[in-house]
Amino acid sequence: GEEVAQTPKHLVRGEGQKAKLYCAPIKGHSYVFWYQQVLKNEFKFLISFQNENVFDETGMPKERFSAKCLPNSPCSLEIQATKLEDSAVYFCASSPLGTDSSYEQYFGPGTRLTVT
């Protein structure tokens, strides 16, 4: 498709429950990024993929967060045992393959996760 799709739009979980978010990147794009946006507007980079390979996971709280991008499937971001501070909007973005960093990212509409 021509747009990045994210599901679900809203997700509510009780503290300690699992949350799984999905992202379908634009067809033909090789890079996928996940970001977390909390109330202050600031985006926190979580993880990026180059095709199905993790490219950069320096932003991931590894003890509870995991992500995958498998061939012919939507990418996913999973949070085991959610905490109140995980409440945020999670954005996925995709970008075409390039040899430099000049390519724009196309963002999805986000998934709003509320942990109660």
Partner 1 sequence: DAKTTQPNSMESNEEEPVHLPCNHSTISGTDYIHWYRQLPSQGPEYVIHGLTSNVNNRMASLAIAEDRKSSTLILHRATLRDAAVYYCILSAQRGGGFKTIFGAGTRLFVKA
Is position 24 an interface residue for partner 1 (rule: CB under 8 A)?
A: no
Cβ–Cβ contacts within 10 Å for residue 62, how many?
Answer: 8
Contact at 8 Å (CB) between 33 and 94? yes
Distance, in Å, from the CA atom of 86 to the CA atom of 94, rounded to the nearest integer, reads 22
Map tokens 């009780």 to a residue.
14
For the CB of residue 81, give the shortest distance to partner 1 in the complex, in Å.
27
The yes or no reply on residue 7 touching partner 1 (CB under 8 A) is: no
Output the smallest distance, CB 86 to partner 1, in A: 19
Q: Is 88 in the site for partner 1 (CB under 8 A)?
A: no
Binding stretches for partner 1 (CB under 8 A): 4, 31, 33, 35, 40-43, 45, 48, 50, 55-56, 91, 93, 98, 100-110
